[in-house]
Amino acid sequence: MLSVSVVVPVRNATRTLPHCLAALERLEPAPAEILLVDNGSTDGSLQLLRAFARDRAAERAQVLEEPRRGAAAARNAGIRVAKGEVLAFTDADCAPDPCWLRHVTGPFVDPTVGAVAGRVVAAPAASTLELFSALYTLQLPARPARRRHWTPWEGGYPTANFAIRRALAQELEGFDENVGIYGEDYDLCARLYALGAEIVYVTEARVAHHHRTTLAGLLRQAFGFGRSHPYLLRRHTARGLWMDLPWHSLAWSDCPIRAWLDLASADKKVLAIVLLGALYGPVLLLLPLYAVWLAVAAGRRARRVGVPASPAAAVGLAGLLVLKSAAMTAGRWWGSVKYGTVCF
C-alpha cells in the first residue's frame, strides 16, 4: 500500500471534530501521518487538535496553523509539508469509515489514475434541517465511475472524501485559493484532467458527513455553491450549453455561447407560476398544488432512505428545498456578473 498523508482543514468545528478525530484514530491501515490544519479557530478547536496529537497519536499526528482564511489555503498548507505518496483529504465535519484508506488508495495501482473520490453519506439527522441536507446535499452516485474530463454535470468531486497523488497535487500547485470556500475542489479536478490523469470514484470508500444545523448556514452554503458555478464554467469550458429542464436535460457542446441554465429547480418553477399568474390570475392556483406535490415528493424521498417524515416535516422539507434553490440561484446570478458568464 502506498504511504498516505491525511489532511484535514479545521475552523471552529468543536461540534463535529471529536467524531472526526475518533474516526481518524480507528483507520486501518493507519496513515503515515495525519496533518490537522487549524484555520484560525476561535472556539477551542485548536486545543482539541493539540490534545489529540499529544495524547493519542503523537508519533503520526501533526497540528499546523494557517492564518490565511479558507479551506483551500489550509489544505495547501498540508500539501506543502506532507510526506506521503498519496494525500487523502477529508473535513472536520466528516468521519471516515475504518477501512476508508484501503478503498481510497486501491485504484492507485493503475498509473493513469491521478485521484480517487469516495462516497459522502449523511450522519444521522437530529432535525428536519439536517434531514433535508441528508436528502438533497452532496448526493453522489451509488455506482462507481471513472472520469477523464469535467463538465458542469460530471467529473467534479468534493474534498470531503478525495485522494490525489502528492506529486500531481504539487505539480498543480494545490488548490486555487482565489476561488473562495466553494468550488476549489471541482477546479482541482478539472485541472487534473487537463494533465491527462483520470479520477476513479469508489463507492466503498465512505465518510459520514455532519450537515449544517442552522438555516443561515444552509443558505450560505447554497449561495456559495451557486457562486462557484460561473467561475468553473468560465475557467474550464470554451463553449457549450448545459440546460436542465423539467424531466429532461440538454447538452450542446458546440453551442457558440457558454451557458449553464437550470430551469428545473424548485425556485424557478415557483417564479414561473408567479409570472404567469401576473398575466392570468387563475394560474396562481397552481402554487398550493405545487407545494403539496413538493411535500409529497420530499416525504417519499425520506421514506426511501428509511427515515419516515411526518406531514409537517414533509412540508418543512419542501419549504427548505425552495429556499435552498433560491439561494443557489442568487449565487449563480452574483457569480455570473462577477465572472462575466451566463449561469442561472
pLDDT in tens, 327-341: 999 999 999 999 999
Band the pLDDT of 114: cuts 50, 70, 90: very high
How many CB atoms neighbour CB 287 within 10 A?
A: 14
The grid coordinates of residue 183 equal 468550488
Please give the angle made by the CA atoms of 137, 211 and 16, to the nearest 5 degrees.
150
Band the pLDDT of 246: cuts 50, 70, 90: confident
pLDDT at residue 59 in the model: 62
Q: How far is CA 329 from CA 129, 225, 239, 266, 275, in A?
A: 20, 10, 21, 10, 17
Averaged pLDDT score across all residues of the chain: 93
Cβ(38)–Cβ(51) below 8 Å: no
pLDDT at residue 120 in the model: 95
In this model, does residue 58 exceed pLDDT 70?
no
In this model, does residue 124 exceed pLDDT 70?
yes
pLDDT in tens, 38-56: 999 999 999 999 999 987 6
Band the pLDDT of 182: cuts 50, 70, 90: confident
Which of the pair, 101 or 248, is modelled with greater confidence? 101
Question: What whole-number distance in Å separates Cα of residue 27 and Cα of residue 18?
Answer: 15
The grid coordinates of residue 312 equal 409537517
Domains of the chain: 4-212 (3.90.550.10), 216-343 (no CATH)
Average pLDDT over residues 297-315: 92
pLDDT at residue 116 in the model: 98
- Of 328, 324, 294, 322, give the one whose Cα is nearest residue 309: 294
Average pLDDT over residues 162-182: 91
pLDDT in tens, 1-14: 799 999 999 999 99
Give how far the C-alpha of residue 251 lies from the chain's centroid of Cα atoms, to the nearest Å: 23
Give how far the C-alpha of residue 15 lies from the chain's centroid of Cα atoms, to the nearest Å: 19
DSSP 126: -
pTM of the model: 0.92
Average pLDDT over residues 230-246: 92
- Of 268, 195, 258, give the one whose Cα is nearest residue 230: 258
Band the pLDDT of 139: cuts 50, 70, 90: confident
Q: By percentage, how much of the chain surpasses pLDDT 70?
A: 98
- For 46, residues 6+ apart whose C-beta sits below 8 A from its C-beta are 10, 38, 63, 65
